[in-house]
Structure 1
C-alpha cells in the first residue's frame, strides 16, 4: 500500500493561517525588514554613529579600515549560519541569509540612491535605532533575523525564555565598549541611545505568546 504523502502544490505555499505565514508573506517580511534595516544603517552612518551586534562590529571595521560596511557585514555573519541551521532550522537560516544579503547590498546602494548629508547624531540615533529595531521586529515575526547576535538572541529566547531584546542589549553594550577607542564621547552617548531605542522596540513588542504566527 502506498503511504507516501502527496507533494505540495505551488498554491499551498501561498496559503496562510492564523498560525503560519505563507511563502508570499514571508518574502514580504524579509524584503521589508531588509529595506528598513538598510535605511536605518544609512541614518546611523550619515551621523557617524555605531550600533551593537554584528552591524556594530561592521561599523567599527568600516570606520577603522574604510572598507564597505555592506561587504564587512555580509562576511561577519557567515559563521553564525551554522548555529542557525543546527538550532533554528533550514527555513530560518535561508530567510536570514536572504535578509543579510539584501541588507548588505542595499547598504552599498542606498548612499547613491538616497544621498544624505551629515545629520545630527542624536536624531540619527533615535530614527536609525527605531528603523533597525522595527526591521528586526518584522523579521523575528517571520522567523528570520539580521544574523549574527540576533540569531543567538532569538535562540536563547526560544530555548531559555530570555527576552531577545534584553539579550541583544547585553551584546550591544559589549560591542559599544570598543567604540571608546575610535569615537568621541558625544558620538558614543548617541550610539548608546540608538542601541537602547532599537532594543526597547524588541523588548516591548516581541512576545511569542502575543504573536504566534510562524
Structure 2
C-alpha cells in the first residue's frame, strides 16, 4: 500500500521573511557584541572580519560587509536570486546592527566562557532563522548550505570545519586562551545547527 503523499510546503509571506531576517541578524549582532567585548571571535566571514578588526582597529561591521562581497556571485549562480537577495539584506543589516550595538548595550563584566556559550547559541539560533527563510550571513554559510542541499552533507559539519580553521588563524592576533574559548563557541554553534538543521525537518519555503 502506497504511503500518503505529503501536502505541498507552505510559502512564507514577505512579513514572515522580514521578521525572520531581522530577528536572526539581531541575535547574531548580540553574539558578535559579546565576542567583541570578551576578546573572542567566531568562524566564517565574521571570523575573518574579527581577525582584521583586532589587527587593524577598523569597524567590525564594515569589514564584515566588505569581506562578503566576493561570495555573492557564487550565491547567485549556485543558490539562486531569492537566496542571494535575502543574504545581501541580512549581511547589510547585520553590519549596521553590529556597529550600532555598542551604543545601546554595554556589559560591565563578562567571562569568556559565558560569552562563548551564549554567543554560540545566539549565532546558531540566528543562522537557523535565516536558513529556514532561505537566507544566510554569506561566506562560509553559503558554502555550508550549498553542500547540504547539493550533496546531503549536514551544514553543521561543514560549518564546524570552516569555523575551527578560521578561529585557529586567530592565534596570529589574539592570545591562545581567547582562541580556546572561541573554539568552544564555534563548537557550540555548529552542534546546535547539526542537531536542529536537518534536511526535510522544516518544510516551509
The TM-score range, normalised by the shorter chain, is over 0.9
* Cα distance in 1 between the residues matched to 2:157 and 2:108: 32
* Cα distance in 1 between the residues matched to 2:32 and 2:188: 14
In the alignment, structure 1 residue 140 sits paired with structure 2 residue 135: no
TM alignment of 1:61-140, pairs within 5 A: 61-140=52-131
Give the TM-score, by structure 1 length.
Answer: 0.90
* Cα distance in 1 between the residues matched to 2:109 and 2:146: 37
Quote how far apart the aligned CAs of 1:117 are. 3.5
2:164 aligned residue (168, 173, 176): 173
* Cα distance in 2 between the residues matched to 1:60 and 1:102: 21
* Cα distance in 1 between the residues matched to 2:158 and 2:102: 31
In the alignment, structure 1 residue 197 sits paired with structure 2 residue 193: no
Unpaired runs of 5+ in structure 1? 1-16
Equivalent residue number for residue 5 of structure 2: none
Deviation string, structure 1 residues 75-130 (Cα, Å, up to 9, x no partner): 00001111111111111001000000000000000001112235111110000111
The RMSD of aligned alpha carbons is 1.1
Please tell me whether Structure 1 or Structure 2 has the larger radius of gyration of its CA atoms: 1
Contact 1:41 1:128 in 2 (8 A): yes
Query: For 1:67, what is the secondary structure of its paired residue?
Result: coil
How many matched pairs? Answer: 198
Greater Cα shift, 94-103 or 182-191: 182-191
1:55 aligned residue (38, 46, 54): 46
Unpaired runs of 5+ in structure 2? 1-7
Quote how far apart the aligned CAs of 1:18 are. 4.2
TM alignment of 1:23-62, pairs within 5 A: 23-62=14-53
Distance 1:207 1:33, change over 3 A: same
Q: Runs in 1 of length 4+ with deviation above 6 angstroms?
A: none
